[in-house]
Structure 1
Amino acid sequence: MAIDEHLSRFEAQYRPQINACLANDVSADVDQATLASSMQYSLNAGGKRLRPLITMAVLKTLGHPIDATNMKAICAVELLHTYSLIHDDLPAMDDDDLRRGEPTNHVKFGAGMATLAGDGLLTLAFQWLVDNQLPPHTKLALVSELAKMAGPAGMVAGQADDIQFENQRLPLAKLQTLHRHKTGDLISYVVSAGMIIADDMSAQPYLDRFGQSFGLAFQIYDDILDVTSSANQLGKPVHQDDNKNTYPNLLGLKASYQALHDTIADGQAALSDMQTALSIDTTLLSSFFSYFQV
């Protein structure tokens, strides 16, 4: 499956705007030079910007504009996502030395400064959710949703399970819960963020299902790539999950591919149902599934 042309055009239009916001606005909010360099090192090291792009795609799908009033709120999730990567790479966690083809933050700046860079990005994300021209009720809803989805009932809980159950074989239902928290909850957030910013919850049942399916597919796909790709292809170490709970380790590679196909099909069905029920064109959101090259 090649990247869909709708997604390619959308990325070409909006990824530069995301990168400009991240490159230009962070330094104004940091008061320590080395800390700023450490934060920007990881934040500006590349990346697909998939999470803010999904929020933008939801806004587009719902007919809501993307402009200066909501750009920082849209991009805040990328600050938080980058913090999670910095901390995930630390010696106390995965102890990885390569991320996006470059030395990880703690290799470049030391574990202490890398930890603080992650702390800075995490807290700055919430600042950006309120440091904008959105209505107060919208800001409050975004802060509440991100805190739940990224915090100890969401992404952090998934990371804790990942550590606690290393070298233990979880049943499929518990593996799905781990994945939903570790990766899926932040994807669910960015879908919800689009609805919150647009102040339009009419498609919530369909978009919630899309977000949950996309988040699970993302983690299954990442598990598969750890087995099938090289470090040069991924820009990070591979075969790191041998002792962890992953789909290939539990089900084998063939069944993992089938689970990925089934999960994608469920997300596509949710969008098809949405288009039928609400007469809303979901072509752009559907194109995001072409990210999974299977």
Structure 2
Amino acid sequence: MRGGLPCFGEAGDPLHPFVQRLIKARFLQQVENKHDIGGCQMADHWIENHKRDSWRRQAKASGYRARSAFKLKQIQERFNLIREGDVILDVGCHPGGWAQVGMELVGETGFVLGIDLEPCQPVEGALLLTGDITDPHTQERMLTELNGRPLNAVVSDISPNITGKWDMDQAVAMTLVAQVFDFALPLLCKGGSFTTKLFQGVGVEELIVAVKPFFSDVRRYAPHASRNSSSEVYLVCRNFMPWKAKTFAVREAYETALNLKLGGDDVDEGPEIIKSSFSVRRKKSE
């Protein structure tokens, strides 16, 4: 276990049928595309690239805690999502690179609230909490800290506790993103934005369909600071339109659509096996 989260694939570890269908679909996609994603090979390749990563060196030279800071800067340059005085929710804030950039953008009159399973060193002007965003107690604490202030922007660079099994990691990551939408959308102000990392694969199109009704513009964007070998892409949702929403149940809409696509039975509500597998954090090196 890492970070208090289970490692799947061991004897006796059950998998919810919904996740099983995601994994099967992802496996078939890999076979079709002839992708080699062996865990050891991926790890060796990542370590080698990490050593010669120019963005990592630039982050260190610029005083940012992670190379991922440049991803948010490039997203901001392209879409101008964050303004001075804004209230921002940074989901998966460890180690603090996005919070640093966020505070630069919102200034002294703004506010950055971060949440992560892993404790994060303070960032001046920001409030970085430790907890699981899918846990009701953590959500209550976040609401208390916001004190009724609506969010202008949600930025999320979250990923699950990486197992090296791409099909499992991608399936869990997609469901996690949907859960974050469910929590944050009711807090987002009119015209607000929601930006989140996705891993390309099964379910991406279904998630986009699920969130499109809430925003006037939804598109995918790959910052230059993302690794060339990475399958990550950012979903940038702009101009939130709350009056168009009958419900904010993004996860339900996403899972229903994907379940129909995969030809399975109805998805049970709140499968614990999915809920317990989330690591709401950003790796220090990302």
Q: Would the TM-score normalized by the shorter structure come out above 0.5?
A: no
Structure with the bigger percentage of strand = 2
- Whichever structure has more helix as a proportion of its residues is 1
Q: TM-score, normalised by structure 2?
A: 0.28
TM-score by length of 1: 0.27
